Amino acid sequence: MKSGGSLSIWFFIGVSLAVNGAIICGTGIYELMRPPEHHVVLYNLHANVWWGAIMLILGLFFSLRFSPAKERARMAGNS
């Protein structure tokens, strides 16, 4: 879509998901190595590891697919 510049909204979404996913997954891995004193319910499922990883992968996909370089190339192709 036209965004008024070379940055697509999907790029912003990708960056947001990737950064948040990396932080959450990283925290989960840290907790695996150093388990906290107080657990949330179903801690044994380590939701932050796999949920963070899913967000990271999805975020990287969006970030690369709609990167500014690709958008510029696409807009140049259209014009």
Partner 1 sequence: MNPAVLLASSNTLVHLSPVDLVIIIFYFVLVLAIGLYLKEQANTGEDFFMAGREMTAWVAGLAFLSANLGSLELMGWAGNSYKYGILAAHWYWIGAIPAMLFLALVMMPFYHICKTHSVPGYLKLRFGQGAQAISSISFAFMTVLMSGINMYAMAVVMKVVLGWNMHFSIWVSAMTVAVYVALGGLRSAIFNEVLQFFLIWAGALLIPIMGLIEAGGWHGLQAKILQNLTELNVPNPGSYTHLWSTLGHFSSNPMGINWVGIVFGLGAVISMGYWTTDFLVVQRVLSAKDLRSAELAPIIGAAFKMMVPFIVILPGLLGLALLRDPQGHLIRLVDAGLAWSPQGQAQGLHGYDEVLPLMLARYCGPGLLGLGITALVAGFMSGMAGNVSAFTTVWTYDIYGALINKNASDESKVKMGRWVTIIGVIVSILTAYIAKGMPSIMDYVQALFSFFIAPLFGTVILGMLWKRATPAGGWSGLLAGTLSSLGMYLWVKFDPSAVRYVALSMDAQDQAQNMFRALWCCSICVIVTVVVSLVTKPKPEGELKDLVYGLTPIPKTEHVSMFHSPIFWGVVVAIVFIVLQIIFW
Contact set with partner 1 (CB under 8 A)? 1-5, 7, 9, 12-13, 15-17, 19-20, 23-24, 26-28, 31, 36, 39-43, 45, 47-48, 51-52, 55
Q: How far is the CB of 37 from partner 1 (least distance, A)?
A: 12
Residue 72, C-beta contacts closer than 8 angstroms, at least 6 positions apart? 6
Residue 68, C-beta contacts closer than 8 angstroms, at least 6 positions apart? 6, 7, 11
Q: How far is the CB of 69 from partner 1 (least distance, A)?
A: 17
Tokens of 77: 């192709």
Nearer to partner 1, 15 or 60 (CB): 15
Q: How far is the CB of 76 from partner 1 (least distance, A)?
A: 19
